[in-house]
Amino acid sequence: MVNTKMDLRILSLVLLVALPACVAYNASVGWQTISQNSPLIVANGGTSGLYPDQTLEAYSDAINSTSLPLALLCDLQLTKDNLAVCRTGLNLTTSTTLATVMPNTTTMTTYVVRGASQTGYFSVDFTLAEINQTKAIQPNIARTPGFDGQFALQTPEDSATGISLAGLPGLMLWLNVEYPTFYQQHPGKNSLASYLTTFLKQYKPQYLSATEVGILKLLVPTASRSATRLVLKFLSTDLIEESTNSTYGQILTNLTDIATFAGGILVPKEFIYPTVPLSNGSVSGYGYYSGNPTTLVQDAHNANLEVFVYGFANDIYPSSYNNSFDPVLESLNYVGDSFTVDGIVSDFPSTVAEAIFCYPDGYDNPSTIRAAPTPVRNPLIIAQNGASGDYPGSTLSAYVAAVKGGSDYIECSVQITKDGVPICRDGANLVNTTNVALNPDLFETKFTTYQEMGSGVFSFDLTLEEIRTLRAIIYSPFGVVNVSRDPSLDGKEGILTLDEFLSFAKNNSGVGVYVNVQNAYFVRTVKSLDMVSAVVTSLTTANLTNVGDKVYLASEDSSALAAFQSLIPSVQRVYVTPDTGDVTITTAVLQEIKKYADIVTLDRAFVDPFDSQTSFLLEKTSVVSAAKSLNMTVFYHFLANEFSGLAFDYRADPILKISYLISEYNLDGFITDHPATLYNFLYNNYCWNLLGGQKTVNYAANLSPLFPVSPVPGAPAVAPSPALSVAEPPVSYLVPAGSPLPNSSIAPAPSSNPSSATKLPLNLLTSIVLIFILTLLLN
């Protein structure tokens, strides 16, 4: 059944997604491009982030998933008979099946290219007929190999003819020449100039870029007659440009000279936003920061040069931490109010289309041009331990960022100390989220193994005093595949108690709390610690047990939920399913859950599971619809921006996943590590939150660049597993004598002048100030 997925083909160039209505609102704001039109989207070999690049399927998908104007980029390689093929790089070994189809007598060749020797199979050593015997493969080993060997190669003539036959206004061909000097010498002298002159005369491509000045100057007369825009492509600033023997950095200093032979420049994105390494230097496995933008775009526009930017791909890592692993946010940086590039070259062109056409106001800016607020009921944004995708989870900075990012609720994953104090940590094992490994006294004496919990240092084995000596570090669920989150705040902040968390939330009016009580049954039966009583006491002291309070009380332990139902019945309860796909949730299981809670948090394994072998979505599940039929509220766990946690169907784009889940499942809330990304989709995305006050979003009628994701027909179903066991053996949770009880006349109200241990900010500004003060004290 997996083969059905892999055999998916798009047989013709057909436009399925039209220009969205919301682009008109962009036009009213005005584009800061040379043409004053929207930036050009350049599909780098088509949708090369999913399909083998520069194939009919990759090009077709780019058209089907991306709004116009759109240019399809072909990387030119000349053949032995002075014809051409579209392939990336020089060595065909990495992008074709040539090595497997050529006779054993065929030997590899070595050429010196830009001063370095390269050995392999090169197009100039084979005729086009020989190369056409091969199929395309995905050169990027991080991407799916599922389509390897299925699709034929394309020639520039194939691409130009297909675009002409499609007859779509705004669909263009972009020819790129990456190695002009090499192809001027191979297969024969002036072979490149000869081929390009003929091609421009016959096919009149809209754009032609090259990495060398010499070839562009030769083509100026021909390009002028064919109305082809010539573009100089820049490589690294310290690299020598072979036709001038100057560095690219030197050439860039004379934009007016470039304008005498070219109409634009194509530059790496780092030319506009310079890379700033981590403060502790370039550390393997970590990303970097982006500095303030240069004035290159403005300077080039003053010289009447268009500016195109390359290097965009949703699945690039290391990447800039400034963008929170959100590729839409990255693109938006280049189409802002202060400057706008004239085009973006991307392996995932649909993502660039989202940025340009769905976010006319950008991120973090309330819309000023909507006709009316839309009454669409959006799902809740529940920040998992705060903005834990960007900051160490469950810290003050994470919670401040979550509130600023538009969260409806902030989560505290509750653990308990040896002396019975509830704290906020993502898991009982402190090795993952604190610097305990750097504390030899604690690490060596407290490191232990529990059959149910694994090995580590656990909160329930440390007193609060001992935990106060620790500092939080950021936790990445995807670190195992070398995609690590920003470590810059590691070791800067201490561990918050549940009381401190609740005080912070109450002092930031409008935000609710999602109190996720973890391991309650285990610590009660194994460690004789009563988490239920501790949490009830904290909520009661904070006066957060009343009807109407913005409190969700969640747990994976039905025994704990039953105790909460008895002790504080007015608080909304949430049953949390396990984060594993080795159990099944049937209607009978949901009916059992409903005895303890009317709300269920479903792990993604029960909503949009994907095949662990192919990383494509499995068949759509029915768990959400079954829960809805029982009038249950359904939350989704969890969203994160990192591409490594996404099925290939989502094109390494977290926005497409959000769009799919909302439109397909009508979920009531999302638990997310990146709340700002979800907020911006719900409230600043014109392709979702439509203009004119529409009450519903009809995706079938919505002309939008939000590509409609769905499992391919014939996708495998989830493998059968035993039903989830909800009930737990009886266990006693008792509120200790002397603790304040709900509705008790002696229950203390929150103090107007709390102690220094619990005094937290009255608003967001003071929260930020407090972080600064705490950082100084802790250092």
Output the DSSP codes for 133-189: TSBB----TTS--TTTTTSB---HHHHHHHHHHHT-TTEEEEEEES-HHHHHHSSST
Look up the CATH superfamily of 380-771.
Phosphatidylinositol (PI) phosphodiesterase (3.20.20.190)
Q: For residue range 519-564, list pLDDT tens digits in order.
A: 999 999 999 999 999 999 999 999 999 999 999 999 999 999 999 9
Q: For residue range 227-267, list pLDDT tens digits in order.
A: 999 999 999 999 999 999 999 999 999 999 999 999 999 99
Nearest to residue 562, comparing CAs of 586, 539, 536? 536
Is pLDDT at 27 greater than 70 in this prediction?
A: no
Q: What pLDDT score does 753 carry?
A: 32
Rounded CA gap, 274 and 107, in Å? 42
Q: What pLDDT score does 266 carry?
A: 99
Rounded CA gap, 488 and 331, in Å? 24
Q: What pLDDT score does 651 carry?
A: 97
368 pLDDT band (50/70/90 cuts)?
very low
Rounded CA gap, 392 and 406, in Å? 18
Rounded CA gap, 327 and 643, in Å? 9
Structure-block tokens of residue 192: 């490149």
Sorted by sequence, the CB contacts under 8 Å of residue 377 that are 6+ apart come out as none
Alpha carbon dihedral 20, 15, 227, 44, in 10-degree steps, equals 90
575 pLDDT band (50/70/90 cuts)?
very high
Rounded CA gap, 216 and 239, in Å? 18
Q: Model-level pTM greater than 0.85?
A: yes
- At residue 132, what are phi and psi to the nearest 5 degrees? -70, -10
Q: What pLDDT score does 705 carry?
A: 64
Residue with tokens 């280049």: 334
In the chain, the amino acid numbered 549 is D
Calculate mean pLDDT across residues 73-81: 98
Quick one: 217 exposed, middle or buried, by C-beta within 10 A (0-12, 13-18, 19+)? middle
Rounded CA gap, 735 and 107, in Å? 79
515 pLDDT band (50/70/90 cuts)?
very high
Using omega within 30 degrees of 0 as the cis cutoff, is the peptide bond preceding 318 cis?
yes
Pairing assessment for the beta strands 448-450 and 454-456 based on DSSP bridges = antiparallel
Structure-block tokens of residue 640: 């994160």
Q: For residue range 672-712, list pLDDT tens digits in order.
A: 999 999 999 998 888 887 533 343 333 333 335 677 887 87
Is pLDDT at 450 greater than 70 in this prediction?
A: yes
Assign 276 to helix, strand or coil.
strand
Rounded CA gap, 151 and 141, in Å? 18
Q: What pLDDT score does 707 carry?
A: 75
Q: What pLDDT score does 363 carry?
A: 78
Is 151 within 8 Å of 158 (Cβ atoms)?
no
What angle is formed at CA 387 by the lines to CA 481 and CA 572, rounded to 5 degrees? 115
Q: For residue range 635-668, list pLDDT tens digits in order.
A: 999 999 999 999 999 999 999 999 999 999 999 9
Q: What pLDDT score does 686 carry?
A: 81
Is pLDDT at 777 greater than 60 in this prediction?
A: no
Instruction: Please report the DSSP string for 184-225 in residue order.
Output: HHSSSTTHHHHHHHHHHHHH--SEEEES-HHHHHHHHHHHHH
Other Cβ atoms within 10 Å of 116 Cβ, number: 7
Rounded to the nearest integer, the mean pLDDT of the chain is 87
Nearest to residue 706, comparing CAs of 17, 1, 196, 123? 17
Is pLDDT at 102 greater than 90 in this prediction?
A: no
Is 284 within 8 Å of 481 (Cβ atoms)?
no
Rounded CA gap, 399 and 392, in Å? 10
Read off the DSSP letter of residue 630.
T
What angle is formed at CA 308 by the lines to CA 302 and CA 311, rounded to 5 degrees? 140
Is pLDDT at 748 greater than 50 in this prediction?
A: no
In the chain, the amino acid numbered 58 is A
Is 96 within 8 Å of 87 (Cβ atoms)?
yes
Tally of helices (H runs) and strands (E runs) in the chain:
26, 26
Is pLDDT at 632 greater than 80 in this prediction?
A: yes
Q: For residue range 335-351, list pLDDT tens digits in order.
A: 988 899 999 999 999 99
Rg of the chain in Å (alpha carbons): 29
Domain limits of the chain?
A: 2-90+149-358, 380-771
More confident residue, 76 or 481: 76
Q: What pLDDT score does 448 carry?
A: 98
More confident residue, 30 or 404: 404
- Select 2-90+149-358's CATH number: 3.40.50.620, 3.20.20.190, 3.40.309.10, 2.40.50.140: 3.20.20.190
Q: What's the length of the chain?
A: 779
19 torsion bin: left (phi>0), alpha (psi -120 to 50), beta (else): beta
Q: For residue range 110-135, list pLDDT tens digits in order.
A: 999 999 999 999 999 999 999 999 99
The reply to whether 380-771 shares the fold of 2-90+149-358 is yes
Q: For residue range 259-301, list pLDDT tens digits in order.
A: 999 999 999 999 999 999 887 554 566 899 999 999 999 999 9
